[in-house]
A and B are shown apart, each in its own frame.
Chain A
Amino acid sequence: MKKLKVDHVSKSFQNENGEDVKALSDVTLEVEEGEFICILGPSGCGKTTLLRIIAGLEKPTGGDVLVDGEPVDGPTPRLGMIFQDYSLYPWRRVLDNIAFGLEIAGVEKATRAATARKYLELVGLKDFADAFPYELSGGMRQRVAVARALAIEPAVVLMDEPFGALDAQTRNAMQRELLDIWEKTKKTVLFVTHSVDEAVFLADRIVVLTTRPGRIREVVDVNEPRPRDRTCDGCAALRRYVLGLIDEGRPDR
């Protein structure tokens, strides 16, 4: 069985004139257990909408999302979500932020502290358990967000441009760390980005979306061996190819 199945999903909004605007059109995607998928497209292509539909935060106008064969009909702890902007609770210490999901699931205090510590260590922040989020840098906060999402052991991890607000160096470091964590936990990951470079570095497969309405232009396999070198010829060729796909998809070309 596929880990995640996006089955003919489409989504339309009504604009202020009452006209239907199609944001997503007939998106179908199957993801294997343990895969790292990047959803790539220019801004306004509906990639965040697609991720939010998968997360259950928005209802599709048509089609279904299935996790382990079961349909998603609302937000669920089976799907962990990491948001672009900082979603940590500023009144909670780092460890209590990570334990939040366990706390609402009714996990006993000592157990959830131990689990939270384990994930804190996984993201390399074990000295910051008692810090408040405002004492951390942007990259560290996103690592805490990753730990919080992983702590409830979701079947699939969804990431919505999680490194978009970080500077280039931090961003590269975070990408490497994310791959480390992914290899250790063997999670299935769906990662939304508008950066071709990021997608080529991270993904097993890149789902390239076209803009308005968003539909799948092509699913590109990335067969470069890991750990990847960003500057290798294979990566450069792949970047050129994917950039070409995105440019073709533009209406104003």
Chain B
Amino acid sequence: MRENVQEFRRFQGMARGFRWAIMPLFFLIAWEVAAVVINNQFILPRLESVAMVLATPFSPILGSGSLVENAIDSLQRVIVGFTVGALLAVPIGVAMGRWRIVEELVDPLVQIFRPIPPLAWVPLALAWFKIGLASMVFIIAIGSFFPVLLNTLDGVRSVKRTWIEAAMTLGATERQILSRVVLPGALPTIWTGMRVGFGIAWMCVVAAEMMPGTNSGLGYLILYAYNFSQVQVIIAGMIVIGVIGLGIDTALRRFEERWFRWRELER
């Protein structure tokens, strides 16, 4: 009797562990049912045909490179663009947070440019940099710049005055205060900004790859597949985009939980 109870408890525990899978499973079943009912692969392909595309990530699709090749192209672009954006945003954010005069001078520009969606820069990017890597990097950098900047500013402002004054009484120079107190103190918040910024950069790269004249990348692949009515490729591409985005965000969050635990534990 008692063994039965234990068994039941264990089963309950396992069931709870799989609870997250219920809705995705339900979604997949609904998809398959809808696909069968609609019965038109140019509107909603069946699960199997999408799975088949995903199962062969290295084989070329419609003569435009494989899923993996296109994903690598997109990742390269996003990394370059994000790096440019973050490398500009962090120093500007630190300077704004540390020196009032810098904030007063720079803030109006930030306020004006921030509401402009990164994609509104596409025509200008094309006019300035023509088609190619430079214009994509430009758009991705703009997309990641603002979240990193605003979080850096926030992080620097949250650095306790006592931390800075303690460093001053211990003989620290302004430079040492910046590198050993302000930066490490603001780093958890900067990191959060980078996570948000990378997410936006990833969205931007897909959109940027839909610009005319592009000939690789996941964004290009799904648009190209549309021209050939290959809906199963479009959906497979979207799944890859989602999974990569989730994977990177998870990795960045793990790092955050591991290294910046003090932010939550400090009263």
The interface residues of chain B lying within 8 Å CB-to-CB of A76 are 169, 171
A81 touches B262 (CB 8 A): no
Considering the chains assembled together, what is the distance between the CA atoms of A87 and B266 in angstroms?
12
Binds B, one of A98-106, A208-216, A233-241: A98-106
B184 touches A152 (CB 8 A): no
Closest beta carbon of chain B to A164's beta carbon, Å = 13
Q: Mark A161-187, 1 if CB is under 8 A from B, else 0.
A: 000000000000000000000000000
Given contacts A87-B166, A91-B185, contact A152 B262 (CB under 8 A): no
Partner of A134, one of B169, B171, B180, B262: B262
Which of A56, A75, A105, A132: most chain B CB closer than 10 A? A75
A30 interfacial contact with B, CB 8 Å: no
Partner of B266, one of A77, A90, A105: A90
Number of A residues whose C-beta is below 8 Å from B?
28
A55 interfacial contact with B, CB 8 Å: yes
The interface residues of chain A lying within 8 Å CB-to-CB of B262 are 90-91, 132-134
Given contacts A83-B162, A87-B162, A104-B180, contact A75 B169 (CB under 8 A): yes
B171 touches A57 (CB 8 A): no
The interface residues of chain B lying within 8 Å CB-to-CB of A90 are 262-263, 265-266
The interface residues of chain B lying within 8 Å CB-to-CB of A85 are 160, 162
Closest beta carbon of chain A to B219's beta carbon, Å = 39
The interface residues of chain B lying within 8 Å CB-to-CB of A91 are 184-185, 187, 260, 262
The interface residues of chain B lying within 8 Å CB-to-CB of A55 are 169
In B143-186, which residues have CB < 8 Å from any A CB?
A: 160, 162-163, 165-173, 176, 180-181, 184-185
The interface residues of chain B lying within 8 Å CB-to-CB of A104 are 167, 170-173, 176, 180
A53 interfacial contact with B, CB 8 Å: no
Chain A interface mostly helix, strand, loop or mixed? loop
In A84-131, which residues have CB < 8 Å from any B CB?
A: 85-87, 89-91, 100-101, 103-105
Closest beta carbon of chain B to A217's beta carbon, Å = 28
A148 interfacial contact with B, CB 8 Å: yes
A80 interfacial contact with B, CB 8 Å: yes
A50 interfacial contact with B, CB 8 Å: no
A79 interfacial contact with B, CB 8 Å: yes
Considering the chains assembled together, what is the distance between the CA atoms of A70 and B166 in angstroms?
22
Given contacts A90-B262, A104-B180, contact A57 B162 (CB under 8 A): no
In A53-72, which residues have CB < 8 Å from any B CB?
A: 55-57
Given contacts A104-B171, A148-B170, contact A75 B162 (CB under 8 A): no
In B173-206, which residues have CB < 8 Å from any A CB?
A: 173, 176, 180-181, 184-185, 187
| CB closest residue in chain B, given A90 | B262
Across the A-B interface, give the 4 residue pairs with the lowest CB-CB distance, nearest first: A77-B171, A101-B170, A75-B168, A90-B262
Task: List 24 A-B pairs, Cβ < 8 Å.
Answer: A57-B165, A74-B168, A75-B168, A75-B171, A76-B171, A77-B169, A77-B170, A79-B169, A81-B166, A83-B162, A85-B162, A86-B162, A87-B160, A87-B162, A87-B165, A89-B163, A91-B184, A91-B262, A100-B167, A104-B171, A132-B262, A133-B262, A133-B266, A134-B265
B residues with a Cβ closer than 8 A to A are 160, 162-163, 165-173, 176, 180-181, 184-185, 187, 260, 262-263, 265-267
Give 17 new A-B contacts, CB below 8 A, not counting A81-B169, A91-B262, A148-B166. Answer: A76-B171, A79-B169, A80-B169, A81-B166, A86-B162, A87-B160, A87-B165, A89-B181, A89-B185, A90-B265, A100-B167, A100-B180, A104-B171, A104-B173, A134-B262, A134-B265, A149-B169
